[in-house]
Amino acid sequence: MRTETILKYANERVPRYTSYPTAPHFSPDLDARDYGQWLAGLDPNAPVSLYLHVPFCRTMCWYCGCHTKATRRIAPVDAYADILLKEIDTVANHTAARLKVSHIHWGGGSPTYLPPRRFEALMDRIRHRFDVLPDAEIAVEVDPRIFDDAMASAFVASGVTRASLGVQTFDDSVQRAVNRIQPRELVEECVDMLRDAGVTGLNFDLLYGLPLQTVENCIASARMALALRPDRFSVFGYAHVPHMKPHQSMIAENDLPGAAQRLAQADAIAGTLAAGGQVPIGLDHFARAGDELARALEAGALRRNFQGYTTDTAPAIIGLGASAIGWLPRGYVQNTAHTHDWERRVLNGELPTARGYRLTPEDRLRRSIIEQLMCTLSADPAALAAAAGLAVPQADLSAFQAAGIVAREGSRVIVDPAYRPLVRNVAAAYDERLQTSSARHAVAV
Ligand code: SF4
């Protein structure tokens, strides 16, 4: 019964709600001048987070959905790092005071493709222009195929505390089918190097829904991953959108598992991780019991942002690098995604803003309802609306209630954890901008 119910909704296209409103609703009307004012208005007493985007990889994985470019040449990566130094200065010049930083997240692409001395120089520049708090989390997305002793030393010198490893699958045939050859021994070596470098927090990313993936090889990969004792997992379903990501056409649609198989694979990975002591967090994350993320969930302090589930409670995230998205108290702002345009504008001393979104009180209310649902599978829209002094947003949950997906306790809306894969569908009922016919989002399961 549960399977049939989930499959009924599995092919709906719904956002991942790492923001609300979601990025397709950002507008070019919001420009560098607005962003400059927002930066100048940041409270110097409140810490901020920094997100740095590195849009380069050595080779392209066919499943990739990120904003990145494959290149074997290190020269463009080196040049990019130089411009990033300048963007750090430009942003710091726009703030009214030296800001405190509580979180730094390096994403991509492959931040570990940066030459190690460049990574260190960028971290030095951040420390020179901002007050990085002594207990700040400094997290880096790591490609185990491009990580070596020199980068491990750069991590030590820069005080990196957390690494997210793109593991995806340990199955050789699946790895070949998606152009990401990454033997188990290589991941083990990378984990050892990171631990030796004092990186105490480890996240693994796993994928399901890839060509040649089966329930059996998903379970085997999850078990191998557990044996390396990471603290956290993110488990994503492959989103096949070749109209947006042309390299994905290297994966034949006929080779992809169908919705029922995808659900079975997701369930199999979740069951394996739970049996290994991992606690489910929100839609698709897992954390070892006692991990900070699991504790934040228990304490009602879990947040969701562009990097997924997080303990980061800073009221502002400043995005740096081509395509990087920032999240400020007044709204969202995104840098131009065209690397040459980003470079030209930063070299001109400009903020390279391409678009953004100014939040209204109504948006903030809907955002908090959606964020609570995505984090805790539960929200009290009436209480949140009362606190905001606004009317309760209307949402038709009747079909979800009739199917047993959603229950109500007073004014509280509760998603049954058995239907966790559908929490985005429930959250979408509070999204007044969602066009359900839109193909811009990936399928629900
Ligand atoms: S390494 Fe990561 S960002 Fe780069 S192509 Fe592969 S999946 Fe995409």
Q: Measured in angstroms, how far is the CA atom of residue 342 from the centroid of ligand 1?
A: 21
Residue 8 lies in a domain: no
Q: 218 CA distance to ligand 1 centroid (A)?
A: 20
The confidence score (pLDDT) of residue 13 equals 87
On whether both 376 and 353 belong to a single domain, the answer is: no
Give the structural domain span for 385: 361-428
Return the best residue to mutate from 63, 68, 69, 187 for the ligand 1 pocket (most ligand atoms within 8 A of CB).
68
* Spatial strand order in the sheet of 131-142: 278-281, 285-288, 232-237, 201-208, 162-168, 131-142, 100-108, 48-54, 317-320, 325-328, 331-335, 353-358
Query: What is the C-alpha separation between 101 and 45, in angstroms, rounded?
Result: 11
> Ligand 1 centroid to 60 CA: how many Å?
6
Nearest CA to ligand 1 atom 8: 64
pLDDT of residue 430: 97
**66 and 85 share one domain:** yes
- Whole-number Å distance between alpha carbons of 286 and 290: 12
Residue 72's CATH number? 3.80.30.20
Query: Is the same domain home to 354 and 365?
Result: no
Q: What angle do CA 375, 269, 297 make, to 5 degrees?
A: 20
Distance 434 CA to ligand 1 centre (A): 28
Does 200 lie in the same domain as 62? yes
Contact yes or no for 310/294 (Cβ under 8 A): no
Where b means 16+ CB within 10 Å and e means fewer, 187-213 reads beebbebbeebebebbbbbbbbbbbbb
Ligand 1 site, residue 110, Cβ cutoff 6 A? yes
Model confidence at 439: pLDDT above 70? no
User: What's the pLDDT tens digit per position in 372-414?
Assistant: 999 999 999 999 999 999 999 999 999 999 999 999 999 999 9
Is residue 435 assigned to a domain? no
Q: Distance from the CA of 433 to the center of ligand 1, in angstroms?
A: 30
Residues 387 and 252 in one domain: no
Residue 346 has pLDDT above 70, yes or no: yes
Q: How do the residues of the chain divide into helix, strand and coil, expressed in percent and rounded to 5?
A: 40, 20, 35
Whether 72 is in a domain gets the answer yes
302 part of a folded domain: yes
Average pLDDT, the chain: 96
Which residues are paired to 413 by β-bridges? 379, 408
User: At 385, which CATH number?
Assistant: 1.10.10.920
290 and 368 in one domain? no
Q: Is the pLDDT of residue 93 over 80?
A: yes
Residues 382, 317 share a domain: no
Q: Report d(CA 387, CA 381) in Å as an integer.
A: 10
Residue nearest to atom 6 of ligand 1 (CA): 61
Distances in Å between the Cα of 88 and the Cα atoms of 82, 117, 347 are 10, 17, 12
User: Cβ(111) to ligand 1 under 6 A?
Assistant: no
Which tokens in the block code for residue 70? 């494959």
- How confident is the model over 32-80, as pLDDT tens digits? 999 999 999 999 999 999 999 999 999 999 999 999 999 999 999 999 9
Q: Whose CA is nearest to atom 2 of ligand 1?
A: 109
Residue 437 has pLDDT above 70, yes or no: no
Do 350 and 367 have their domain in common?
no
171 and 185, same domain (yes or no): yes
Rg for the chain, CA atoms, rounded: 21
Task: Provide the 3-class DSSP secondary structure of residue 112.
Answer: helix
pLDDT digits (tens, 9 = 90+) for 253-263: 999 999 999 99
In short, whether 55's Cβ falls inside 6 Å of ligand 1 is no
96 domain residue, yes or no = yes
| Ligand 1 neighbourhood includes 57 CB (under 6 angstroms) | yes
Q: Collapse the DSSP code of 245 into the 3-class scheme (helix H, G, I; strand E, B; otherwise coil) and give the result.
A: coil
Q: Structure pTM?
A: 0.96
Whether residue 280 sits in one domain with residue 217: yes
- 281 and 317 in a single domain? The answer is yes
Instruction: Evaluate: CB of 175 within 6 angstroms of ligand 1.
Output: no
Share of the chain above pLDDT 90, in %: 95
Residues 54 and 141 in one domain: yes
Ligand 1 centre and the CA of 230: distance in Å?
20
> Which residues, other chains included, contact 209 with Cβ-Cβ below 8 Å and sequence gap of 6+?
237, 238, 256, 257, 261, 262, 265, 266
Token representation of residue 98: 């030296």
Q: Does 39 map to a domain?
A: yes
The separation between CA 6 and the C-alpha centre of its own chain, rounded to angstroms, equals 24
Residue 435 above 70 pLDDT? no
Domain boundary among 301, 329, 358: 358
Closest-CA residue, ligand 1 atom 7, reads: 64
60 Cβ closer than 6 Å to some ligand 1 atom: yes
Task: Work out how many domains the chain is built from and give that number.
Answer: 2
CA of 61 to the centre of ligand 1 (A): 6
- Kindly state whether residue 153 falls inside one of the protein's structural domains: yes
Q: Which residues of 342-369 are buried (b: 16+ CB within 10 A; e: fewer)?
A: bbebbeeeebbbbbbbebeeebbbbbbb
> Strand pairing partners for 287?
232, 279
Say yes or no to pLDDT of 21 above 90: yes
